[in-house]
Structure 1
Amino acid sequence: MEIETEDKPPGSPLIRDSAIGNYLERSNFFIKYEGVNPTGTQKDRISRKHVENAIKQGYKEISVATCGNFGASIAYYARGMGIKAIVGIPAEYSNSRHAEIAAYGADIIEKPLKYEEMVEYIREEAKNNNWYDASPGSPNKSIDVSGYSEISFEIYNQLGFAPEYISIPVGNGTTFYGIYYGFLKLYRNRKIDKMPKFIATSTEGGNPIVYSFINGFRNIVELNPENIVETYANEPLIAYRSYDGQKALDALYKTHGKALYVSDMKMEEISRGFRKIDNLSVLPASASAAAGALKFAGNNSCVIVLTGSDK
């Protein structure tokens, strides 16, 4: 299997059309669709930056732990820029994009570990083997916030104002916090006169950010790893530890936001609806953001960030 790559920068449209509006029964909702990025998710925004940074620092290999999407994205940009990718994947993950990662020429490490355990394993291997570490919580994590903040700038430029609400799926909380940070910069630079209210959505299978917020905790609480069960629908979201969870939780409180658990069945239902109504391919976990918007935004303006396509 051979896949061609190109040096294409990530970026995504803001969609508002009658078909989606009729499906969601809202006229003031906008879709920020990250599925158009080169490998189909918002991960492309940071992967390109990580690979460029690795090359700039003189690394020959770049490593990442993944449940699938981030690994495919890192492997894509690594191949395009001529550096070796090493991708760690928990062995039991059903949505690993394993074949695609391999086709990009990455070395794949599979271990019978949970995602969080794989992150720690790859972190140690990166130290021991002088690999650049792109995994969540790495010494290079500032790139993640910078990359995801670009989503906020695009929304502002495309919409012309800050929406009342913005709904985003959360796993590690990094994308969520990055978008918050971007709007905060716009606010501090007086481009907007108020911050949107942020909505965090995740799987009812378990997520520390949503759990902590719903229970009124100001400090992030890790969940019991034994209660975490990955499924096709929830893999990008389910977690017992969220690496940027505290920052995401703080952002929820600071914006007077809301949080919601969404069932696998509901995520898959909304994903099918997007495809049926407007032929829009949406990862079920990403579709959780639409459920959050419908629950909390009412008839206010709301941008729904669909973080990936259902490849």
Structure 2
Amino acid sequence: MRKSGRTPLMRAKKLEKALGISEIYLKLEGANPSGHKYDRISEVLVKDAIANGFKKILVDGSECYIQSVQLFAKLNELEIKVPLFKQEKWKISRIDKSILFDMRDKKDTITRSNLREIAEKNNMYLMCEWNLNNIISHLVLEDMTRECLERMDFKADTITIQLGLGYTLSSVYSGLIKSWVHEELCKLPELICGSNPSWKDSMDEYVRKMQIGGIKSKEKDTAKTNLYMEDDYTGIVATVEKIIMDTRAQMIEIEEIDLKNAANMLRDVEGVMVSRKESYAMAAFIKKANQGKLSNGKHLIILNDARSEIEVCEIKSFNDKNKEELLEMTRDWLSTYNDSVGETVDAIEKAMKEGFLLIAKRNGEEQGICIVVNMGFERFIPTYHLAYIGVKPGNKGRGVASELIGRAIELTDGNLSLHVDLDNKRAKNLYRKMGFNHVYDRMIYNHPNE
């Protein structure tokens, strides 16, 4: 089972009210294991490395990208090396020294242009952040696009993203075209892209700083992996310009103050945390809304590292959290209920085997638990059933239960039922708010001998 993806798609109702726009959805990619959209790509690239017989990976790029690759390499017991060049003191202080591959020399003869040759010589799988505009990345991000569209019933008026190196924009567009061709989408959403006003100069500076100008990809590798990227990486700007033109994306220039205000607004209004450097999409949407250039409809904003203040973690093994702890949390945090210990244990074991065990955390401390079991049906009744949900005392009205239920809906694609006491009005109101309807009352036979 993939560990990345299926991140929360959050309906931002408070933000809708603040901006006067109906139906705003936030894709919180910070809920990925290492906290970034990169995880979707890193996980599959590591899988590709294994499929092609590699035992070692050579990775280069930003700290965030390296950490993402390192996570999935470790999970798959692959060795990882990070090249260390001159003027890269940040790597010495932030990257584990045991994985650094020192390429500094007095004559400065080794540069990033040698990485492909070095990787081949040492039988390493090469993963570079600046070369993510490839087939695997596109397929993975097309999958992310479909993930969003399915939750939005294939109705979206705008999709707002951050420009970056252009591969997210081209991937989202490809995903939209596929859904449109298959007649799942009636019309293509407008693509909005937030960027630095001087993004062209910034990209040229990136090429110069990373010393990747003039790096050539071998013809066989280009045919295998690259969709848009020029052989010579000095062509990045031209490539991105072509992507913008092909996708007909509307570019919104974002200043530093816009990034600050967007990050603050998300935090203060919706309790969503996003780094300032990854706030371009949010800032672009706010700018359009404030200009009165957005109509009511369905609007999707993809945020590369955004996460809720409340983090929902999926427990996939009793090694992550033992059965006794889960049982104690369930029985301590639920409102008074009559299920026996044996019944609760049964639900926990079944959820671990073929359902979902979710724990909500705030600042690393556990605040709530949700247990979802697979009922084994496809059509007769909903496949999944929310067996138990409980929050730690002191969390009333702080959104913990909402986050847990929302995540359960995400993971089950809404194919989910639950039971609620007839006189529990507060719980009923929450469930209705989350999209549940009262369908029937449940009656259980009370055996006369019991």
Q: What TM-score, normalized to structure 2?
A: 0.53
Gaps of 5+ in 2: 210-232, 310-450
Q: Which amino acid in the other structure matches residue 262 of structure 1?
A: I
Report matched runs for 1:261-300 at 5 Å.
261-296=253-288, 298-300=294-296
What is the distance in 2 between the residues matched to 1:14 and 1:271? Answer: 18
Give the alignment partner of residue 16 of structure 1, picking from 11, 19, 22. Answer: 11
What is the distance in 1 between the residues matched to 2:99 and 2:3? Answer: 19
Q: Offset of 1:108 from its aligned partner? A: 5.8
Runs of 4+ in 1 over 6 A off after TM superposition: 89-98, 225-228, 241-244
Q: Which amino acid in the other structure matches residue 190 of structure 1?
A: E
- Cα-Cα RMSD: 3.7
Shift of the 299–306 alpha-carbon distance from structure 1 to 2, 3 Å rule, reads same
Give the alignment partner of residue 304 of structure 1, picking from 290, 301, 304. Answer: 301
Q: Offset of 1:306 from its aligned partner? A: 0.4
Q: 2:55 aligns to what?
A: 60
Instruction: Please list the CA deviations of residues 49-99 of structure 1 after superposition, one character each: whole Å capped at 9, or x if unmatched.
Output: 000110111112112221122111000000000101223477767987964
Q: Offset of 1:153 from its aligned partner? A: 0.5
Conserved in 2, the CA contact under 8 Å of 1:31 and 1:305? yes
Give the alignment partner of residue 146 of structure 1, picking from 115, 139, 148. Answer: 139
Give the alignment partner of residue 102 of structure 1, picking from 72, 75, 96. Answer: 96
Conserved in 1, the CA contact under 8 Å of 2:13 and 2:23? no
Give the alignment partner of residue 115 of structure 2, picking from 122, 125, 135. Answer: 122
Q: Which amino acid in the other structure matches residue 102 of structure 1?
A: D
| DSSP-derived class of the 2:34 partner | coil
Shift of the 133–41 alpha-carbon distance from structure 1 to 2, 3 Å rule, reads same
What is the distance in 2 between the residues matched to 1:180 and 1:95? Answer: 35
Shift of the 268–134 alpha-carbon distance from structure 1 to 2, 3 Å rule, reads same
What is the distance in 2 between the residues matched to 1:157 and 1:107? Answer: 42
| DSSP-derived class of the 1:47 partner | helix
Q: Offset of 1:8 from its aligned partner? A: 2.1
Q: Which has the larger radius of gyration?
A: 2
Q: 2:165 aligns to what?
A: 172
Shift of the 247–154 alpha-carbon distance from structure 1 to 2, 3 Å rule, reads farther
Give the alignment partner of residue 78 of structure 1, picking from 61, 68, 73. Answer: 73
Gaps of 5+ in 1: 1-5, 212-220, 229-240
Aligned length: 277
Q: Which amino acid in the other structure matches residue 256 of structure 1?
A: R
Conserved in 1, the CA contact under 8 Å of 2:10 and 2:25? yes
User: What is the percentage of aligned positions where both structures have the same residue?
Assistant: 21
